């Protein structure tokens, strides 16, 4: 049986799960030219902690082929569009989940994040989302690509309409004592006192800054709506009585290159082997990093060296933070742009560096792109070809109305505190 027949069976099985009155007639349903049978979207073992607390599992949402790209497109469903503008991406890999929540088809959902896959969809769809540190949320039974890659872990976390919902979800899961059925979960119950500490009192926030530009990581300059969003957060926090200081990003270009080498350590073999099982084609979004042309597979000693570099980088970053111990958290863009045009996502460094550090990060929706005030700098001098590519992509008319977000980043395993801080940011924005 060829992959086309498998696709037909898969679609039929999915359609039969939908109540008759909710179905779109087949002749009214647009069918993309691509199809897929890779089954990462399948329900995972997370039900074991969801169902006892009253969760209703009623829908399956779309993810990209490989779950390793920031655009939600595959060969089964095709492309998931952004609810705010169908010409823009909903992000990935948890883009289907975020799009559904943004449409109020669900009050809350769960994504996974190995390089921004919770935070990017949350940011692109005007939602809140948290990437917890590895070990806080259960992951056993979750189906993922690159299974066995233990250098940068994929983690589960919620996406929702409010920061309070993130706290509610994490508290409910941790009350199930998930360390009793997932050996990778650290036995840290929900700490209400940390949450309350984060959401009360005046704080000191750092803001990623290079060459005097708030929000710039020194690698890729954010688009005008993102720079304005950062400034809005700074202004709101200062008006609320908080202190905002510059935070110099440490070796972010080095970190971006390092985490990319980790993602590609097997030369794309794991993903290609999964595709071989069905015989389906690799989509273009995946082919660039994991397709047949990728030949960067490294040996065990090289992988150990990468792990040494990662640990050293984590130590150096923590030492810098300890030198500025007064800073409670730092703020930076989640991506250098608002929700991006399809297939134009080029730089993941604002998100992936956080995965390398294994810090918790909460996405906070801020505003929307406005073509009248988010004017492109036609005299901008790019610092690299990549920087220029991202700069050239911005068109005020195209991105008008796209959601703009930032992320609040805290110390490892301080999820309660960071959610509380994010609530403070949200309140400051709402009252400004």
pLDDT at 15 over 70: yes
Top pLDDT among 59 and 337 is at 337
Instruction: Name which of 4-8, 274-278, 382-386 the model is least confident about.
Output: 4-8
Output the pLDDT for position 44: 46
The domains of the chain, with CATH numbers, are: 3-431 (3.90.1300.10)
C-alpha–C-alpha distance, residues 266 and 278, integer Å: 20
Mean pLDDT of 13-20: 73
Reduced to 3 states (helix: H, G, I; strand: E, B; else coil), residue 221 is: coil
**Pair 198, 424: CB distance under 8 Å:** yes
pLDDT of res. 1: 65
pLDDT digits over 68-88, tens only?
Answer: 999 999 998 899 999 999 999
In this prediction, residue 24 has a pLDDT band, given cuts at 50, 70 and 90, of low
- pLDDT of 405 > 70? The answer is yes
The DSSP bridge partners found for residue 88 are: 341
List the one residue out of 322, 307, 288, 351 whose CA is nearest residue 119: 351
Least confident of 8-17, 84-93, 126-135, 369-378: 8-17
347 or 55, higher pLDDT: 347
Handedness of CA 140, 146, 147, 148 (dihedral sign): negative
* β pairing state of 329-333 and 108-113: unpaired
> What would the two tokens of residue 244 be?
């905002």
Q: What is the mean pLDDT of residues 211-226?
A: 98
pLDDT on residue 295:
66
pLDDT of 29 above 50: no
258-261: which pairs have CB atoms within 8 A and are 24 or more residues apart? 258/306, 258/309, 258/310, 258/313, 258/356, 259/115, 259/152, 259/352, 259/353, 259/355, 259/356, 260/352, 261/296, 261/298, 261/306
* Residue 366 φ then ψ, to 5°: -115, -55
Mean pLDDT, rounded, for 335-341 = 98
Q: What does the mean pLDDT of the chain come to?
A: 91
Q: Count the neighbouring beta carbons within 10 Å of the beta carbon of residue 202.
A: 11
Q: How confident is the model at residue 8 (pLDDT cuts 50, 70, 90)?
A: confident
pLDDT at 37: 34
- Is the confidence at residue 33, as pLDDT, over 60? no
pLDDT band at 49 (very low <50, low <70, confident <90, very high): confident
**CA separation, residue 312 to residues 15, 52, 309 (Å):** 50, 41, 5
Cα dihedral 256→145→306→311 (10° resolution):
80
The DSSP output letter for 133 is P
392: Cα separation from own chain's centroid? 23
Whether 26 shows a pLDDT value over 80: the answer reads: no
pLDDT confidence of residue 316 = 99
Q: How far apart are the first and last CA of the chain?
A: 60
The predicted model gives 325-352 an average pLDDT of 98
Residues 6+ apart with CB under 8 A from 20: none
Which tops the pLDDT comparison, 367 or 21?
367
- In a 13 Å sphere around the CA of 52, the CA atoms on its Cβ side amount to 10
Least confident of 36-45, 298-307, 325-334: 36-45
Q: Please compute the mean of the pLDDT values over residues 252-262 and round it to a whole number.
A: 97
Q: Which residues pair with 365 in a beta bridge?
A: 405
Q: In the predicted model, is pLDDT for residue 150 greater than 80?
A: yes
Q: Closest Cα to residue 223, out of 34, 50, 395?
A: 395
pLDDT at 20 over 90: no
Report pLDDT for 291: 76
Q: How far is residue 432's CA from residue 427's CA, in Å, rounded to a whole number?
A: 9
Judged by average pLDDT, the poorest of 66-80, 127-141, 372-386 is 66-80
Q: How far apart are CA 246 and CA 252, in angstroms?
A: 16
Q: pLDDT band for 9, please (50, 70, 90 cuts).
A: confident
Of 177 and 22, the one with more pLDDT: 177
């Amino acid at each position: 049986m060829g992959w086309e027949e498998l696709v037909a069976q898969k679609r039929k099985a999915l359609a039969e799960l939908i109540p008759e009155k909710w179905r779109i007639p087949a002749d009214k349903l647009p069918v993309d030219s691509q199809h897929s049978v890779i089954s990462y979207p399948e329900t995972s073992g997370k039900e074991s902690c969801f169902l006892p607390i009253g969760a209703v599992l009623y829908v399956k949402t779309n993810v990209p082929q490989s779950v390793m790209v920031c655009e939600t497109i595959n060969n089964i469903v095709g492309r998931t569009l952004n609810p705010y503008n169908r010409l823009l991406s909903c992000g990935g890999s948890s883009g289907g989940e975020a799009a559904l929540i943004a449409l109020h088809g669900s009050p809350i959902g769960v994504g996974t994040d190995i390089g921004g896959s919770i935070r990017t969809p949350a940011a692109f769809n005007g939602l809140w989302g948290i990437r917890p540190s590895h070990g806080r949320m259960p992951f056993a039974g979750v189906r993922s690509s690159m299974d066995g890659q233990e250098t940068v872990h994929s983690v589960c976390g919620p996406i929702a309409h409010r920061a309070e919902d993130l706290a509610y979800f994490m508290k409910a899961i941790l009350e199930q004592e998930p360390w009793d059925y997932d050996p990778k979960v650290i036995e840290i119950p929900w700490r209400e006192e940390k949450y309350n500490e984060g959401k009360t009192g005046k704080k000191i926030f750092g803001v990623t800054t290079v060459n005097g530009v708030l929000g710039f990581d020194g690698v890729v300059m954010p688009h005008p709506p993102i720079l304005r969003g950062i400034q809005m957060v700074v202004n709101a926090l200062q008006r609320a009585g908080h202190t905002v200081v510059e935070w110099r990003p440490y070796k972010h270009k080095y970190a971006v290159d390092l985490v990319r080498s980790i993602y590609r350590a097997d030369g794309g073999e794991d993903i290609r082997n999964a595709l071989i099982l069905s015989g389906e084609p690799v989509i273009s979004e995946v082919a660039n990093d994991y397709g047949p042309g990728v030949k960067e597979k490294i040996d065990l000693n090289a992988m150990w060296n990468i792990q040494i570099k990662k640990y050293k980088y984590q130590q150096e970053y923590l030492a810098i933070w300890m030198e500025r111990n007064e800073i409670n958290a730092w703020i930076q863009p989640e991506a250098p742009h608002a929700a991006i045009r399809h297939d134009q996502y080029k730089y993941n460094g604002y998100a992936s560096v956080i995965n390398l550090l294994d810090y918790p990060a909460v996405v906070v929706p801020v505003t929307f792109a406005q073509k009248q005030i988010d004017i492109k700098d036609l005299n901008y001098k790019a610092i690299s070809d990549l920087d220029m590519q991202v700069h050239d992509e911005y068109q005020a008319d195209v991105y008008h109305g796209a959601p703009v977000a930032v992320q609040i980043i805290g110390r490892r395993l301080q999820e309660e505190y960071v959610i509380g801080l994010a609530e403070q940011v949200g309140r400051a924005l709402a009252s400004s």
